[in-house]
Structure 1
């Protein structure tokens, strides 16, 4: 028998479902036992310290209930993103009602005993989080750090043409910079090849202790704002008039929300039908819903002092003073729970009644069980080309110059061709600056507004690069949404401005960590973060653009199983690293790469060995011939490697009998002690490469504290770290190295002063190095460029 989803009887089912979700959500805040209130509440029924939040819960449950209705009515492929902060009960309660939670956690049965376990475990030691954490069925977005819900939803629907991401956005979240920027997301959604995002802005009026800005804007102001941003807003309000003019009967609000949900779904379908039948990707006005409701809806009306709770900031957290050790006002909790009429919602055994389950979908049709929220609809490994086909060839090290990002873009272009719906690049208006030329030329930037050539370049309605919004948050958020739904990609940005989204990377790492602990969670492709326009290549933009701190930030998380940091020194090592990174799973890969013309050092065979091992002994730059060296040089990335090899060249010419060993490091985490990184070099291997009583001159790309912690953890203190010392300016490329004592002359000096056989015996050499540094200082001020001794230097080999 066909279901009439528009009937008043069906809306009664929606209402029953909503009340059941609210009942479960309140129970999770307060109760450990007696979930159906079969006996009067006593202290042992209540949690010692209720933890969680209430303000956003009932409005979100209302939204979820109505999404279930249209999901069934229109047979949608839809999932839910909870943007509001502190709404963990929402997705738990709803997935419990539709049976998803019990399928994931069989011990949480749909009966009285299971309900008690569900209540107890929420925000409880050994239980589950108060956000939509990885433990939550149906979630790809925890929402602890606000602002990324809409960008995650957008990333999820890219290349998923049949999917709708229903993204609930809190009015507090809407005040964050990232979310405010996210209203531009529609400019990158292709109505032919991508799915749709349905933003639902919940305006409940208040934050922790302040009103929200949008709640004090008129409907006309909101309409003009969102229409101007490209959206078609549809309003649903709980209020009879203004926010403080009283509330409508809930059944009236149900009717209005049902009508509005139908309108927006039909609008989405009409947009897509027109675009796909006419091959017309003209930017539409996608619909959105503005839901005006009271914070703490359906909860206690006033506190003990008579101040309003509902529709005020006081509803934000735990709204009433009830706890195991404070039962004086337990009747407030009882009245609150009984207001939902649980006897109408649950059977005697605690299972949901049919009037509740009538509004739930089945199987993978349920939002909480949609495969897109658990590793993707149809996850595929990348079909990767042989990176060796793109290798640079040269007769001897340093004889050829190339731009690593230019060459890597040729490989990425081939990856995109082989994976036309599962691989994308993202960045904040920097892809051309970062030299991804061939990728842009062949694959285009995705951009739905008008295109005006030749003023515009490489823009198209469908493209494999999204970099046309100058927002690191947006582009990183798109990538996260894309990766969390089973696809692959990279985010490329200036190294210094990777710091803008370093907390996003932290949040992604936290998600990965918790997701790996859930037996039912499928794994995810790697998130690849490409930091280029590096600190030592930002001499032209100046001090503000010079910051390699993303390396330290992620290293300090002490999770080398989840964070990998690669610093290739040339094109061929970048090619080998990129191949490895794109095949990785469940980790963040940071690739620090050069984009400027620089010497090329390693054959593709050498590069593969370096990447496979993480680091390696370079025989053509060493003179120790397998015996104990007098000094060990080590370096990472481009400029530190150039300066190290130049320093070795200087020393060899001055001290031809000096036994020098050179180690190139690509995977910096390999240096970590095995007790901190199970993949770190063994003590024996570390000591073989870096003998204990031999000084090490380490040319490091990042900050000293990170490298010191790696070496000092091994109780190795005879290491001299030359690195970025927070000295910068608009200057010459070589001067950036001099300012930070990472230049060849300082490295050579340090080596001589560190080798016992040479220390204190070569004042003339030290003086000569100082003279060259002084000459450099004056030369750049006179000529505005680096001196020929630097720019014309080439590796001559060690004879």
Structure 2
């Protein structure tokens, strides 16, 4: 070793001063004295691990000579060395098991195992178990048209976009909990990096077992890979000693076992996994025999290895193994630095590849002893990952509809319908919500089964509940993803303003889905469904902080083949929409609706036709049924539509010479050109609905800039005006919110008069007088609200049309 080493490896944490009795909570296993692995199994495991580590390193560096049949040469090295080494080395029972990895940069370690077990070759013949296949794996890794540098939908066995792709990190744990729900025979082994463990999504997801009923669901085996470093700094867990970690996870409800004997790592891990399975089986057996253990302690394994374990020890006077320098490419200048090249050659030879592969480049036959002979048991071939779609029994929505002309709460109506969905699908449907179902008027979903809560202390939780309420949007989203990607259907209702919390998680999920649709062997999955309510238009007491419809824009930015945004104008339309979304596959569906009672404009039959079309002319509110209009006014959203219809009613009385066409849009995507979105209207259909040359005014629930993006590319956009949420608001009355954002009936009427005056001389001569009158009345409404603390009586009545 050089005399001056600039980077010290991670030393063991100093012992804490916690009570020594806590050590009793950690599980100790005398694995050396047990026959957990036979001699041949242990040998096979050791060869397997060496082969996986060798292949992971080979993927980073080599484009040729992949099993070192000859001495390493410079031309064997890739021109661009990409990837991450540090977490790769952290990665035998007849069980149904999935493997989820949180450290996405550990893709080489995962891909190496998939190649060794034959799963890569199963889906990709070019990665056969021979020299040619191995060459294709290593040379193509992280290169154009090759395997990606992170675990994604192209990776067999994956249900998690394990990478911080400009988005959220840390939801491997919650995804795993979602996958085991209603899968009683499934075990998910999830590896969580100690860097990932610092994130909010991981921190809250540890509570996931509080929602797992051992009688009806499977189990996870969390393995925290505590290697002490992240990209360029120590990890928090790496600074904690064993007693501190035991105290932490005992409080979460786990029983902890450490794997840290580097000299016997394979036997140690095998014994620990066997212990974990035994603990799980005991908990499940008790629950399934009718004698559940109250607050069971579930197994958790903490794996302590040096960062970059088995990699190069040092270079240029600095430690590599056991330091953050091994996180990415530990030797980044092998083609230009002779000393690094020699270190690389020594490193690769340390795995003794001649013992790992035969003359054909196939894995040593002794490795196969630990690979399941039943291919469906292999981690890359589990059907739950790619072919497990379980369609819902979607009840008929029409029995839940209400009479046209009455007032009704969209969310109240949807709650009753979803209650029936739960009854019809007791094992394939769940709801996740951040503790807001009752507030959002969806309480009917709790009537028969209640909330799911296993640690039920002085609450009304039910082990059989189908609703999971937890004040962590991250955990709700992760569980919903795991449930959806393993073939079952869920719904995530929430306050509109809180949905932005999961924005980046949804973006990453959509990327996974986008790639899934391009992978021929992945079959369909249910759509992932969101319901936004408690919207900015009806925030009577929460104020400006709760006024944020930006999640609509987040969905609009997703790949058009995946994204769907619906703004049903009433209860009947919302029923038709949600029934459609529950049947749909492979989409990200966002539905926006009101929890307050609002008018029901359409009969069930009319609502169905309207939702199928995505938009339509509302003849009952239009002059002469909308024929030959002077102006088109468009409502998008429950309250926005209410204001448009009130504007049409006001104009019939005060400006009967103005010919108004009223249009409602429920499928937001129809506004985009058809070339940009599958639901987009053709030019002919667009002009039929909105006319070729008349002015159009949109009254939109979200940010106006979103409409501008959708409409871009349509002809004659100079005739379009629009209003929506403009970041104006406070704790005020609902109608004052309309006035603040210029979306009130009076502002819509003004826009209609100004647009119609351009083509109708009879309107032009009274334009100024009428506009002044309308704006004056708007100010009177505002003054009334400020004086009385409520809106003018009759504001929310159903407008009359002669």
- Aligned residue number for residue 462 of structure 2: 460
1:358-400: CA deviation from partner (whole Å, max 9, x where unpaired)? 1111310111111111133xx3211111111111123xxxx31
When structure 1 is superposed on structure 2, of 771-780 and 411-420 the one drifting more is 771-780
Q: How does 1:400-799 map to 2 (within 5 A)?
A: 400-452=406-458, 456-457=459-460, 459-467=461-469, 469-557=470-558, 559-625=559-625, 627-715=627-715, 716-755=717-756, 756=758, 757=760, 758-759=763-764, 761-791=766-796, 793-797=797-801, 799=802
Answer yes or no: is the 8 Å Cα contact 2:283–2:293 preserved in 1: no
Residue 197 (structure 1) aligned with residue 197 (structure 2): no
Distance 1:465 1:579 in 2: 19
Q: Which range moved further: 176-185 or 3-12?
A: 3-12
The aligned runs of 1:238-253 (5 Å cut-off) are: 238=261, 248-249=262-263, 252-253=264-265
Alpha-carbon distance in 2 for matches of 1:254, 1:412: 49
Root-mean-square deviation over aligned CA pairs: 1.5
Equivalent-residue separation in structure 2 for 1:282 and 1:538 (angstroms): 41
* Cα displacement (A) at 1:211: 0.2
User: Which residue number in structure 2 is paired with residue 164 of structure 1?
Assistant: 187
Q: Does 1:330 align with 2:341?
A: yes
Contact 1:28-1:89 at 8 Å conserved across structures: yes
Listed as ranges, the matches of 1:254-265 within 5 Å are 254-265=266-277
**8 A Cα contact 1:85 1:173, kept in partner:** no
Q: Deviation of residue 130 (structure 1)?
A: 1.2
Q: 1:428: Cα distance to partner? A: 0.6
CA contact (8 A) 1:699 1:722 kept: yes
2:383 is the counterpart of 1:371 = yes
Aligned to 2:129: 110
Counterpart-to-counterpart distance in 1, 2:136 and 2:38: 36
Whether the 8 Å CA contact 1:322–1:328 is kept in 2: the answer is no
Asked if 2 retains the 8 angstrom alpha-carbon contact of 1:539 and 1:736, the reply is: no
- Structure 2 vs 1, CA of residues 572 and 323 (structure 1 numbering), >3 Å: closer, same or farther? farther
Unaligned segments of structure 1, at least 5 residues: 61-68, 239-247
2:529 match: secondary structure: strand
Q: In the superposition, relative to structure 1, how do residues 281 and 409 fare at CA in structure 2: closer, same or farther (>3 Å)?
A: farther
What's 2:6 paired with? Answer: none
Local SS of the residue matching 2:752: helix
Measured after TM superposition, the shift of residue 5 of structure 1 is 5.0
**TM-fit CA distance, 1:626:** 5.3
Partner of 1:355: 366
Q: Secondary structure at the match of 1:368?
A: coil
Q: Is the 8 A contact 1:192 1:279 kept in 2?
A: no
Q: Structure 1-normalised TM-score?
A: 0.93
Q: Does the Cα contact within 8 Å between 1:701 and 1:724 map onto a contact in 2?
A: yes
Question: Secondary structure of 2:55's match?
Answer: helix
- Are the aligned partners of 1:48 and 1:323 in contact in 2 as well (CA < 8 Å)? no
Structure 1 residue 258 displacement after superposition:
2.0
Residue 147 of structure 2 corresponds to which residue in structure 1?
128
CA offset digits 1:400-424 (Å, max 9, x no partner): 1111111111111111111110011
Distance change >3 Å, CA 479–CA 544, structure 1 → 2:
same
Query: Counterparts in 2 of 1:244-323, with a 5 A limit?
Result: 248-249=262-263, 252-280=264-292, 282-304=294-316, 306-323=317-334
SS of residue in 2 equivalent to 1:443: coil
Q: Distance in 2 between matches of 1:711 and 1:163?
A: 47
Cα distance in 1 between the residues matched to 2:599 and 2:689: 25
CA distance in 2, matches of 1:174, 1:4: 33
- 1:438 Cα deviation after fit: 1.4
1:392 aligns with 2:402: yes
CA distance in structure 2 between the partners assigned to 1:450 and 1:289 by the alignment:
26
Deviates more, 1:321-330 or 1:271-280: 321-330
Q: CA deviation at 1:624?
A: 3.8
Given that 1:623 and 1:661 are in contact with CA atoms closer than 8 Å, whether structure 2 keeps it comes out as yes
Say if 1:79 and 1:166, in contact at 8 Å, map to a contact too.
Answer: yes
1:235 to 248, 258, 273: 258
Aligned to 1:346: 357
Distance (Å, rounded) in 2 between the aligned partners of 1:675 and 1:300? 53
For the 8 Å contact 1:427–1:476, the answer to whether it is kept is no
Give 1:90's aligned residue: 109
Q: Is the 8 A contact 2:567 2:592 kept in 1?
A: yes
Runs of 4+ in 1 over 4 A off after TM superposition: 322-328
Question: Per-residue deviation at 1:627?
Answer: 3.1
Contact 1:345 1:352 in 2 (8 A): yes
Q: Which runs of 5+ in 2 are unaligned?
A: 1-33
Structure-1 separation of matches of 2:69 and 2:44 = 24
Question: Does structure 1 conserve the Cα–Cα contact (< 8 Å) formed by 2:99 and 2:188?
Answer: yes
CA distance in 1: counterparts of 2:321 and 2:793, whole angstroms: 74
Contact 1:495 1:548 in 2 (8 A): yes
Structure 2 length-normalised TM: 0.93
CA distance in 2, matches of 1:256, 1:92: 24
Distance 2:292 2:69 in 1: 60
Give me the whole-angstrom Cα distance separating, in 2, the residues matched to 1:680 and 1:323. Answer: 52
* Shift in alpha-carbon separation, 1:268–1:81, aligned structure 2, 3 A: same
